[in-house]
């Protein structure tokens, strides 16, 4: 028997991605997995039903997708889609596999609701950052798109252009862009801002990224701070205390004052994003300057950020974009689908589910199984009575 992978249409407001592209369905067919897609699921990403059908994929209603598939793949499962996603809970069944983003470190109630269905839930955010898992690392793929899109938002909002121009009408000096946090999104933001001709500098808590910043043609900002390397393991930053963040803000004030654009990306897994830019620091920037806060959905790196909104404060524009990857749904879906195909190959064998709990990638990304929240980091956070 061959298992079927189901792709429901995304229901989060404004979400334009689709979990599998038509081409990725071909790769799954080679792994002996059939696919059923909800009608219209790929349309906003540029993949009409006919493109799936050409590759032998069945198109069906949402209820049929959930009923027919042994494995459901989504960009946003209920934890990352807590209002509209709730109606999917009643469509899930015991033993069915669910894969997708789900904010598992914070969405305790949703973890519990999925566990109660008996479904086996893998959260893409929890795929460990080991070399073997790189091709499944959806967090990194989506962060790359986010970094690129953040720069485009900044460029469009800034009353200046980014590049230097020498024209008969005079010389235009290049825009100054500062990137705070040079992880996956930050590095992509540096590369994008450089391509547009800005003068770019960047800062990260992890001193290990200095070389990467410089290799992209940006200046590494050195602050007189003891970070102890800043690495909390797995490529993530370690959480610092409030005294550290206070000192960091003091030192950043002068750097930020001179910028036309600040793009903030700083995050610490499972925690609220650290405040790197206070209202006072933003107010010191020249009118017309722009801050794009990629961490907006995780609480924001700027005190003035409002997630999903653009705030103009004293002439400074603070953009708190929601769901940046969905702004480029074609390529975001293409990358995400590739990540999912690689993950599906890991958890199936000869076209049927084969979950090997001895595998580190499986163990670390598995949230629920057999009616329980099984992830060791998540069990204590679940509300009482969440497990059967
Ligand atoms: P992230 O989204 O968790 O954080 C973004 C950046 O913010 C990080 O670089 C972090 O150091 C930085 N940051 C946190 N607090 C800060 C502060 N107070 N001031 C300044 N910067 C701060 O991280 P991410 O982008 O998902 O990943 C970070 C790194 O992990 C990558 O650059 C990469 O080196 C590594 N990584 C490794 C693998 C792998 O080996 N398979 C996969 C992906 C990423």
Query: Ligand 1 within 6 A of 274 CB?
Result: yes
pLDDT at 289 over 90: yes
Measured from the CB, is residue 237 less than 6 Å from ligand 1? yes
Percentage of the chain lying above the pLDDT 90 cut: 86
pTM of the model: 0.93
What pLDDT score was predicted for residue 212? Answer: 96
Question: Ligand 1 within 6 A of 236 CB?
Answer: yes
Give whichever of 1-5, 139-143, 374-378 has the largest mean pLDDT: 139-143
Point out which residues pair with 349 in neighbouring strands: 352
In this prediction, residue 380 has a pLDDT band, given cuts at 50, 70 and 90, of low
Answer yes or no: is the C-beta of 347 below 6 A from any ligand 1 atom.
Answer: no
Is 140 tagged catalytic?
A: yes
**Choice among 88, 103, 137, 293 that is catalytic:** 137
SS3 330: helix
**pLDDT above 70 (res 85):** yes
Contact between residue 98 and residue 92 where contact means Cβ atoms under 8 Å apart: yes
| pLDDT > 50? residue 52 | yes
Helix segments in 166-224, DSSP class H: 184-195, 210-215
Q: What is the band of 240 on the pLDDT scale with cuts at 50, 70, 90?
A: confident
Give distance in angstroms: CA of 301 to centre of ligand 1: 14
Sort 308 into a burial class: Cβ within 10 Å, 0-12 / 13-18 / 19+.
middle
Q: How high is the pLDDT of residue 387? A: 40
Residue-level pLDDT at 1: 61
Residue 39 annotated to the active site: no
pLDDT of 116 above 80:
yes
The per-residue pLDDT for 232 is 74
Cβ of 179 below 6 Å from ligand 1: no
**pLDDT at 269 (0 to 100):** 76
Q: Reply yes or no on whether 365 is catalytic.
A: no
pLDDT(385) > 60:
no
Per-residue confidence at 224, pLDDT binned at 50, 70, 90? confident
**Cβ of 339 below 6 Å from ligand 1:** no
User: Quick one: pLDDT at residue 267?
Assistant: 84
Candidate of 188, 235, 273, 275 to mutate for ligand 1, largest count of ligand atoms within 8 Å of Cβ: 235
Residues 153-182: pLDDT tens digits?
999 999 999 999 999 999 999 999 999 999
Residue whose tokens read 């800034």: 158
The Å distance, Cα 182 to ligand 1 centre, comes to 7
% pLDDT > 70, the chain: 97
* Residue nearest atom 9 in ligand 1 by C-alpha distance: 183
pLDDT, tens digit, 9 for 90 and up, residues 243-272: 888 888 999 999 999 999 999 999 887 788
Scanning the chain, the segments in alpha helix (DSSP H) are 22-30, 49-53, 62-68, 86-89, 108-117, 138-157, 184-195, 210-215, 242-257, 279-283, 329-347, 360-365
pLDDT of residue 270: 75
Rounded Cα distance, 368 and 107, in Å: 13
């Amino acid at each position: 028997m061959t298992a079927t992978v189901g792709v429901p249409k995304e229901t989060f407001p404004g979400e334009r991605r689709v979990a599998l592209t038509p081409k990725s369905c071909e790769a799954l067919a080679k792994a002996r997995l059939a696919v059923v897609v909800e009608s219209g699921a790929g349309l906003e990403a540029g993949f009409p039903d006919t493109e799936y059908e050409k590759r032998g994929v069945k198109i069906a209603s949402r209820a049929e997708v959930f009923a027919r598939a042994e494995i459901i793949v989504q960009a946003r499962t209920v934890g990352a889609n807590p209002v509209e996603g709730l109606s999917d809970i009643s469509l899930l069944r015991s033993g069915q596999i669910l894969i997708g983003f789900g904010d598992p470190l914070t969405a305790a109630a949703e973890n519990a609701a999925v566990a109660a269905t008996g479904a086996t839930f893998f959260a893409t955010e929890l795929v460990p950052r080991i070399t073997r898992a790189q091709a499944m690392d959806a967090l990194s793929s989506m962060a790359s798109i986010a970094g690129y899109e953040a720069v485009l938002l900044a460029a469009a909002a800034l009353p200046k252009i980014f590049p230097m121009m020498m024209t008969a009408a005079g010389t235009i000096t290049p825009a100054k862009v500062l990137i705070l946090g040079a992880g996956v999104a930050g590095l992509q933001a540096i590369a994008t801002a450089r391509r547009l001709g800005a003068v770019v500098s960047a800062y990260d808590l992890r001193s290990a990224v200095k070389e990467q910043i410089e290799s992209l043609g940006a200046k590494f900002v050195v602050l007189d701070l003891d970070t102890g390397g800043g690495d909390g393991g797995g490529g993530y930053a370690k959480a610092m205390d409030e005294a550290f963040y206070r000192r960091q803000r003091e030192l950043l004030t002068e750097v930020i004052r001179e910028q036309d654009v600040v793009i903030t990306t700083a995050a610490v897994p499972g925690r609220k994003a650290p405040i790197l830019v206070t209202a006072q620091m933003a107010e010191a920037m020249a009118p017309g300057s722009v801050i794009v806060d990629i961490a907006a959905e995780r609480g924001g790196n700027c005190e003035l950020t409002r997630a999903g909104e653009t705030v103009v404060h004293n002439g400074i524009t603070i953009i708190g974009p929601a769901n940046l990857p969905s702004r480029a749904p074609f390529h975001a879906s293409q990358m995400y689908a590739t990540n999912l195909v690689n993950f599906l190959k890991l958890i199936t064998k000869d076209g049927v589910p084969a979950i090997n709990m001895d595998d580190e990638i499986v163990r670390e990304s598995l949230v629920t199984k057999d009616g329980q929240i099984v992830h060791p980091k998540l069990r204590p956070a679940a509300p009482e009575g969440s497990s059967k």
